Amino acid sequence: MPNLLLRINLAKREYSIQKIDSSILSMFYGGRGIAAWILWNELRPGVDPLGPDNKLVFAIGPLTGLPIPSSSKLLVAAKSPLTGGYGDGVLGTELAIYMRILGICAIVVEGKSEKPIYVHISESNGRAKVEFEDAEDLWGLNAFEAEDRLKRAYGREAGLALIGPGGENLVRFATITAGKGRSGGRPGMGAVMGSKRLKAIVATSSKTICEICDDLQRLGAEAFKAIKSSAVFDNWIKQGTMATVRLAQELSVLPAYNFSEGQFDGYERLTAEEMRRREVRLRSCPICNMPCGHVVKDDVGREVELDYENVAMLGSNLGIDDLAKVARLNRLADLYGIDTISLGNVIGFAMEASERGLLEDKIEWGDDKKAMELIGDIVYGWGSLGRLLMLGVREAASRIGKGAFEFAMHVKGLEITAYDCHAAPGMALAYGTSPIGAHHKDAWLIVWESQVGRLDYSRYKVEKLVELQNIRGGFFECMVVCRFPWVEGLLGIEWYYKFAKAILGIDFDYDKVALLGDRVYSLIRAFWIREYGGWDISLDIPPPKWFKRPLSKGPFKGARLEYDGYMTMLRYYYQLRGWNERGIPRRGTLERLGLKDVADCLGGIVDLQ
Ligand code: PTT
Ligand code: SF4
């Protein structure tokens, strides 16, 4: 199990390696848990997210980099400049594998370099060696160009995590990228990297996979086979996440016109079938035999990888019904290293604000050319609208005033991902309680919720939500492997328990997963409370639009979220997590989870009863 912490100080150009306390590893294992623990312990409360004292953590887990399916994921975390709370994201990159080979569980990047810089991590006598390299020539290059340069210098197998101009220019929703299409850290992790003037981390190694034990090699080989022989494999390979476009339309959750509707008249021109007509090849993260990266040509013939989220947010949500044009916007986001989801959200917000006469600029629904121009403005801070939107939708709405917050589609400052929730209270609660702000990554309830009753506000939905959060946001994010093989039904959860047993010697079951989930969730909630100087229950409630403006068409015509029903579910959620009615973890809960020190600190800020 990787147990080293590599600390890199960019201001001093120094690094050190230390062991992570085994008691901390046995509580959190890796990934999100370790990252949250480091940020909780090492950040000064109230630290400026874009100042030199914020820290950027790259973390892997016990299952990363092993010869098991889809295991090349890397978690990136920091205090978010977009939300002001805890932020993280996960991307696929060889860097994760090299960290594993070197036994590094977490890289903590501190300080700020005076000049643009990148770091090269390699191996010297079995230990990590860090070299600090000048990045003046790379600064300003887009993510693809910078990646090409670094691969030319360090070889095709080099592991990378880098930023584009979005991160350099501190766009609050800039991400960290790799592999020309892998992008992680929606809550502005790329901006934190840019604020440190760190263009890239490059890693090289003589090995390309961590060979660990025979048991695991055998198990991994069986799992790869099980994926290939799964009944859903063929369909997955054909459509990947893009199958969701048609599904979302049918279920009336496809965001349209800044989340005003759950259906879009032009959806047929955005589907997986349309994608396949333009497809040139498939691409995957390293160590994956179920690639989901569908590379297509955009309207000017350049290659770009499509995903449901990207297409929904830059397509239907903006009223654009041409996949090739959507692909072009998607490609720009990848080149600049900014999050497609937040991008579609801020542009949709601007279109609605313009329609309501709240902006000087005119930007109409479906205007892909204007959207394209706006992307450049956002990334380079050109013009007043670009400068406004680069701050994210919460800040933009607060600066505009005049009721703009009513249609600013975010929770805790993180823009909502691609599911309309007028008629999906379970999914709305998933957004409301996601530990980084509105994201589906911890709990995706849409299909299940459609099977059990969409307009139902019952307790079993909250129980299902907590279960999913514990598995996805707790177990998978601490083990740090791709969850798609499990989510998409190609590998059952018992496979992951077997992998964990082989590597950690621990018999996992749902109770252990729930304990881990509770621990991680309560720690992250404590982080937010400390940063916000308290807690307001309204921070766990989705935006007013879904409560106030009913759907005007589709199978749920007339539906909107019911405030009382939502609040009943939210209160039950707090109860299940052991938090009080104000959403604050109780002292007893924190102590049961082994977080007594956290309770002592938090008790000085808020009442823990
Ligand atoms: C994730 C978010 C998602 S969620 C998508 S599509 W998805 C968007 N992809 C973007 C992109 O592409 N380019 C871009 N410029 N911005 C983008 N923003 C959006 O980012 C990703 C896959 C996907 S594709 C998902 S759900 C799964 N996410 C996992 C997760 O969170 N944890 C985990 N253990 N396994 C996961 N497996 C799947 O990984 P964020 P990737 Mg991404 C072009 O990170 O910040 O959470 O945002 O990492 O390597 O690209 O793989 O339908
Ligand atoms: Fe990457 Fe997709 Fe494979 Fe997961 S399933 S590892 S996101 S290519």
- Total residues belonging to the chain: 609
How far apart CA 32 and CA 6 sit, in angstroms, is: 16
How far apart CA 197 and CA 441 sit, in angstroms, is: 29
Closest ligand 2 atom to 293 CA: 8
Give the list of residues 6+ apart from residue 543 with CB closer than 8 angstroms, or none.
259, 405, 406, 407, 408, 409, 410, 411, 416
Query: At residue 230, does pLDDT exceed 90?
Result: yes
Are the C-beta atoms of residues 318 and 254 closer than 8 Å to each other?
no
Cα 139 from chain centre: 25
Q: Please give the C-alpha separations between residue 240 and each of 229, 234, 262, 271, 411, in angstroms, as whole numbers.
A: 16, 10, 21, 11, 27
Q: Please give the C-alpha separations between residue 346 and each of 159, 408, 439, in angstroms, as whole numbers.
A: 32, 8, 15
pLDDT for the residue 14: 98
Task: Report CA(474)–ligand 2 centroid distance (Å).
Answer: 19
310 lines ligand 1 (CB under 6 A): yes
Task: Find tokens 């007013």 and name the residue.
Answer: 544
Angle value at C-alpha 293, between 292 and 299, nearest 5 degrees? 140
pLDDT for the residue 136: 98
Mean pLDDT lowest among 77-91, 204-218, 394-408, 531-545: 204-218
- Percent of the chain predicted with pLDDT > 70: 100
How far apart CA 454 and CA 166 sit, in angstroms, is: 38
Average pLDDT for 550-576? 98
Query: At residue 215, does pLDDT exceed 90?
Result: no
Report pLDDT digits (tens) over 124-137: 888 899 999 999 99
Report pLDDT digits (tens) over 70-122: 999 999 999 999 999 999 999 999 999 999 999 999 999 999 999 999 999 99
- Ligand 2 atom 1 nearest Cα: 285
288 lines ligand 2 (CB under 6 A): yes
Closest ligand 2 atom to 69 CA: 6
Task: Report CA(513)–ligand 1 centroid distance (Å).
Answer: 23
> Which ligand gives the minimal distance to the CA of 241?
1
Report pLDDT digits (tens) over 167-208: 999 999 999 999 998 999 999 999 999 999 999 999 998 877
Give the list of residues 6+ apart from residue 78 with CB closer than 8 angstroms, or none.
39, 49, 54, 55, 56, 57, 87, 88, 189, 192
Report pLDDT digits (tens) over 491-521: 999 999 999 999 999 999 999 999 999 999 9
Which stretches of 173-213 are DSSP H helices? 189-195
Query: At residue 213, does pLDDT exceed 80?
Result: no
Of residues 596, 599, 597, the one with CA closest to residue 585: 599
Of residues 170, 165, 184, the one with CA closest to residue 51: 170
> Which ligand gives the minimal distance to the CA of 476?
1
Report pLDDT digits (tens) over 29-66: 999 999 999 999 999 999 999 999 999 999 999 999 99
70 lines ligand 2 (CB under 6 A): yes
pLDDT for the residue 388: 98
DSSP 8-state symbol, 66: S
The answer to whether the predicted template modeling score (pTM) of the entire model surpasses 0.95 is: yes
DSSP 447-463: HHHHHH-TT---HHHHH
Are the C-beta atoms of residues 577 and 590 closer than 8 Å to each other?
no
pLDDT for the residue 444: 96
Query: At residue 210, does pLDDT exceed 80?
Result: no
Report pLDDT digits (tens) over 564-600: 999 999 999 999 999 999 999 999 999 999 999 999 9
Task: Report CA(237)–ligand 2 centroid distance (Å).
Answer: 11
pLDDT for the residue 126: 82
Query: At residue 415, does pLDDT exceed 80?
Result: yes
pLDDT for the residue 208: 73
How far apart CA 335 and CA 166 sit, in angstroms, is: 9
287 lines ligand 2 (CB under 6 A): no
